[in-house]
Amino acid sequence: MTMKAPGRRSRVAVIGVPMDLGSNLRGVDMGPSAIRIAGVVEQLRELGCRIKDFGNVAVPHASVVGIGSASMRYAEPIKMTCELLATAIESSLEDSHTPVVLGGDHSIAMGTLAGLARYGLSRKRKKRRRYGLLWVDAHADANTPRTTPSGNVHGMPLAVALGRGDKRFTELGGPAPMIDASSAVLLAVRDVDLGERDNLRKLGLRVITMREIDERGVFECTTEALDIVNAGTDGFHLSVDMDCLDPRLAPGVGTPVPGGLTVREAHLVMELVADSRQMVSCEFVEVNPVIDQRNMTAELAAGLIRSALGGKIL
């Protein structure tokens, strides 16, 4: 049995961002195609969603652009891609569609959140709109050019969204930050760089580690997270790195870390997101078909997107 996605989510804009410039491993640029092959658009149509497919945002290949600074590799082409994505996000929201972004490495979140911030600041509305952020990831993604051990920008977008990092990125959506830290939650994290620990303390967002999930359970932790991202906001953005799952279940990710969420736990997070009816946009990133097994990680991503948009067992 299928059920129609509630409210505004019945109108969905699908946007692919085939970018791997923020990663140290080629292959995630094929993620949007893999998720589409897994049937995500068909699954959403079965829910009753009306789909507007933007296709893919244009992304330059690593072989034809300069690496740039060692502490922020490929910064300029990443910025250019995020600008294009931000425009598509803002346009989708203005057209009353829920953007569903298919990645691509996690640096694309800077473009998604920039578009959301621009929409919230638009002069078309008398009152500024504020949004929360639920970031589901094995990693903190809270490095800056000063703390990064690799120079890979996909390890920086959460810090950027909360106003820390290079101004070329932090001001993509207008005055920084894109999201207030008091309305942000990092969920399912289990691998944090040394420099990120200090950054997270300074940022002040709520961090729910896998240990806490083990101790308290997914339902209680996710319920708390949703309370935070929805408190005093006009809805929230959902950002899901597929390495939040255990790599035995989702092997096609660039930076796997043992001990992640099970398939059912991840679906429960998405189902609670759907039950809240407050998600205004989302992205699913870091699917790498080159190292996947029979497209299983992309199929998991497609199923999780379906759950986040209102898919139910009964």
Q: Are 8 and 277 in contact (CB under 8 A)?
A: no
Q: Which of 97, 139, 237, 267 is catalytic?
A: 139
Distance (Å, whole) CA 127 – CA 149: 41
Catalytic residue among 97, 106, 237, 267: 106
Has 286 been annotated as catalytic? yes
- Among 261, 188, 183, residue whose Cα is nearest residue 221: 188
Active site residue 234: no
Among 90, 105, 137, 292, the one annotated catalytic: 137
Q: Quick check: is 46 catalytic?
A: no
Instruction: Give whole-number Cα distances, 214 to 3, 153, 200, 209, in Å.
Output: 31, 30, 21, 9
- Please say if 137 is a catalytic residue: yes
Helix axis angle, 75-94 to 109-121, nearest 10°? 40
Active-site entry in 29, 196, 241, 299: 241
The answer for residues whose C-beta is within 8 angstroms of residue 50's C-beta and 6 or more apart is 10, 11, 12
- Among candidate residues 29, 166, 243, 299, the one labeled active-site is 243
Asked if 233 and 131 touch (Cβ cutoff 8 Å), the reply is yes
Is 139 marked active-site?
A: yes
Distance CA 86, CA 84 (A): 5
Tokens of 72: 């922020």
Q: Count CB neighbours of 70 within 10 A.
A: 10
Tell me if residue 198 is catalytic: no
Contact call for residues 221 and 187 (beta carbons, < 8 A): yes
Query: What count of residues does the chain have?
Result: 314
Q: Is the dihedral of CA 300, 301, 306, 308 positive or negative?
A: positive
141 catalytically annotated: yes
Torsion angle in degrees (nearest 10) through CA of 21, 26, 27, 28: -30
* 220 carries an active-site annotation: no
Hey, which residues are catalytic here?
106, 137, 139, 141, 154, 241, 243, 286
